Amino acid sequence: MSELKLPKYYVNREVSWLAFNDRVLEEARDTQNPLLERAKFLAITQKNMDEWFMVRVASLQQQVFVGHDKPDAAGLLPKEQLDIISEAAGEQIKNQYQVLNRSILTALKRNGYELKHAEDLSAEQLSFLKRFFDEELLPVLTPMAIDSTRPFPFLANDTLNIGVRLKKDDEKSEKHIAVLQVPTTSGRVIALPESNQVILIEEVVQQFLDALFQGYTIKESTVFHILRDMELDVADDEDTPNILQEVQSKLQERERGRVIRVIVSANTSKTLMNKLIKALEVPDERVYDVNGAIDLTFLDAWLKLIDAPTLEFSHFKGYENPDLVPEKMFASIKQRDYLLHHPYDTFKPVVQFIQTAARDENVLAIKMTLYRVSGNSPIIKALADAAQQGKQVTVLVEIKARFDEENNVHWARELEQKGVHVVYGLRGLKVHAKVALVVRREDDTIRRYVHLGTGNYNDVTANFYTDLGLFTSDGELGADVASIFNILTGYSDPVYFHQLHMSPEGIREFIYDKIHAEMANAKAGKPAGIKMKFNSLSDEHMIRHLYEASEAGVPVELIVRGIVMLRVGIPKISDKIEVHSIVGRFLEHSRIYSFENDGNPEVYLSSADLMTRNLDRRVELLFPIKDLTLRQRVLSIFKTMWEDNVKTRVLQDNGVFEKIDRRGLSASNSQEFFIAASLAEQIELQQREEALHRRRDFEPINNPFTGEEV
C-alpha cells in the first residue's frame, strides 16, 4: 500500500480538470455538431473556466497566502500548482479564441449571421447606434476618474469594464486614466436594423466615449473582464447561531474577494495595461490578453437572437411512462419499482410525484432535500401548496450549494412563509443527497413512497443532464429514508440502515468492502469485475483501492466525465483499469456503481462522486436497484455507454484522453442511441393508444332496452 502513495501514480486535480474542459472545447471544434451547438459548447468552456478560477484557483492562491506547504497526491505544492495551471489555462484560452475566430464566427457569417465591429458600420447603423447610446446607455454610464483624490474604484466580480487613457486638450501629457463598467441593462448583444447583424455593447460604448469625457481627447480605450475569489467559507463552529444569516453575510463579503483573473484586449498598450494590473493587484501570470470579444458567454446572448432550427440539435422530448401519470402514480409504484433515465425519460413524473402528493387527501406528509432547483420551480410551488392544505411538509434546502446560495436562500424564505418546515442544511456538511418521501394513508396502513435520484430536483437542467431516478414503495427503503430525514431534521443516530448507505463514512466503507469482495473473487478464480460511472475521481484513498483491485486481477471499467487523478496502464498496478469519458449533447451526470459478485451483479445508484468532499464532507446516499429487470436495464445503459465510439475519449498511459479510432467500426453514439430508443418507445405508445381508440370507435353498444348487442 505504501508504494501506491507515490506521486508518480497520480495526476494533479487541476491539470485533469483543464483536460476535461479541453474535451468540451473539442465539441466546439467538431464540425459534426450543428453550428449553433458548437457555439454553445464554446460558451460552456468559458463558464466552466470562470467558475474554476473563482473557486479552485482562488483556493490555491489562499493556500499560498497562508503558507500552506502540503503537496497534493501528485507531489505538487500549491505554488507549483498555480504556476503549472496558470500557463496551461493561458494555452486553453488561446485555443478558445482560435476556435472563435477561425471557426465559429466564420461559419456564422457564412450562414448569414454576422458580428459587426465599429469600423465596419454603415452611416445608417452608426446613426441608429448613436440614438441607442444617447437614449439607453448614456444615462446609466458612470465614468470614474483615477487620480490622487479619486482612487481606483471597486469593480464587481464577473463584470466587463473599459479602461480609458485620456489627454486634456490644454495639456501635453497623457497622464489621465479612467474606468467605467459596461452596463448590463441593455444586454450584451445589440441587434442592428439589418437582419441577423449584431454588435457587442462594449463596442457601442467605446464608439461614443467622447460624450463622457468632454474637454479631453481619448487616446486609447480597452475592454477587460475581472473575476474575484468567490469561495464561500462558512464557519464550522458553534459560535454562529444562525447558519442562514451567516451565509447571507458571507455572500456580501464574497462579492469583494480578491481579483483572481483578468482578461484584456490584446491591443492594449503597455502603459494602460500596467496601470490597470497594478490597481487590480492581480499577479501577471493570471492576466491573459486575447484577440477577440472579451468573455465568450456573449455567444449565449447572441444565439438567443438567432432562429435557425437546422443549425441546432433536433428538438427532443423524453418518453412519459403512462403508468406514472397522476391518476395512476401511487397505484403503479405500489405494484413495482420504476427506473427513469433522464432526459430520455421525461422529468415530468418526478414533478408530478410531488404535485400529486400535494393534492392527494390521503397524503399525510412530504419530506424532501433540495440542492439546486430552477428559478421558477414547480416543485417549490407544489410543496408550498401541500403545506397550505395542512399536510406536514419538511424540506431541507442546502443553502451552501455553490453559486446557488442566493437562489436557495430565496426559496427557503418563500417556503417558510407558506408554512413549510425548512431546514437550512447542516453545519460542516453539505446535503447533496437527492431524495423525496411521501407518506400516505391507505386503508388501515401507512405506506411510504420514495424517489431517489442521482441528480438535482431541477426541472430545467433535467432536460440536458443525464441522470437516473428510482420510484419505489419498498418497505425497507422507505424505513431507511424516514431514518435519513430523522437524522437531517432532528437528533437521531440509527444503528444501521436496511438498504441505504450514507456518507460521510458509510459510502466510502461500503465501496471498499465491495472492492475487497471482488478482489477475493478474482483470487479464487470466480467472476469478478467493477463497473462505475460518475463525474469525478479525485479521492486518493479510493484510487489506491482501485489500484489494489487491478493488482488482484479485477477488471475495472470507469466512465468518468471530468476529473481523473488515476493513471492507467501502470504495469502490475493499473493495467486492469480502463477509463472512458463521454462528452456530448447532454451533460453526463448519473452515478452508477456495479460489482460482478461472482456472476450475480449488484447494482447501486448514488448522488456521490468519488471525491473526498462527497465521501467525507457531504451527506450523500447510495441505494440498490433490487428489481432484477431494472438492474439489467442499468447494466445495459452502462454497456451502451461503454461501447460508445463517437463521443468517448479513452484515457491513455500518457495521461491524455484520445478519441477511439473508428476505422472499420460502425459508429456508436450512446446519447443518440438512447434518444432513438426513447422516440421509438413514444411512437409505440402512440400507436397503442390509437389502436385502442379505434377499437372503442367500432365497439358495439348494448341496447339499453333489450340488453342485446345491436
Q: Which residue has the cell 436495464?
A: 633
Q: Which of 593, 629, 642, 645 is nearest to 614 (CA)?
A: 593
| CB atoms inside a 10 Å sphere around CB 116 | 18
Q: Is 68 a known active-site residue? A: no
- Residues 352 and 162: their CA atoms lie apart, in Å, by 48
Burial class (CB in 10 A: 0-12, 13-18, 19+), 81: buried
- Residues 30 and 518: their CA atoms lie apart, in Å, by 40
List of E strands, 382-503: 392-397, 421-423, 430-431, 435-442, 445-453, 465-472, 501-503
DSSP string, 333-377: HHHS-EEEEETTB-SHHHHHHHHHHHH-TTEEEEEEEESS--TT-
What is the phi/psi pair of residue 289, to 5°? -100, 140
Say which DSSP state 402 is in. T
> What region, left, alpha or beta, does residue 131 occupy, with left being phi > 0 and alpha being psi -120 to 50 degrees?
alpha
- Residues 229 and 55: their CA atoms lie apart, in Å, by 7
Instruction: Check 176, 342, 432, 545 and give the catalytic one.
Output: 432
What is the phi/psi pair of residue 412, to 5°? -60, -45
SS3 379: helix
| CB atoms inside a 10 Å sphere around CB 299 | 27
CB 105, CB 83: distance < 8 Å: no
- Residues 92 and 22: their CA atoms lie apart, in Å, by 7
List of E strands, 421-549: 421-423, 430-431, 435-442, 445-453, 465-472, 501-503, 530-534
Strand partners, 209: none
Residue 388 to residues 162, 351, 391, 489, Cα–Cα distance (Å): 50, 18, 7, 21
DSSP string, 110-126: HTT-EE--GGG--HHHH
Long-range contacts of the stretch 269-273 (C-beta < 8 A, 24+):
269/165, 269/220, 269/222, 271/165, 272/163, 272/165, 272/177, 272/220, 272/222, 273/222
Strand partners, 176: 166
DSSP string, 51-103: HHIIIIIHHHHHHHHTT-----TTS--HHHHHHHHHHHHHHHHHHHHHHIIII
Q: Known catalytic residues?
A: 432
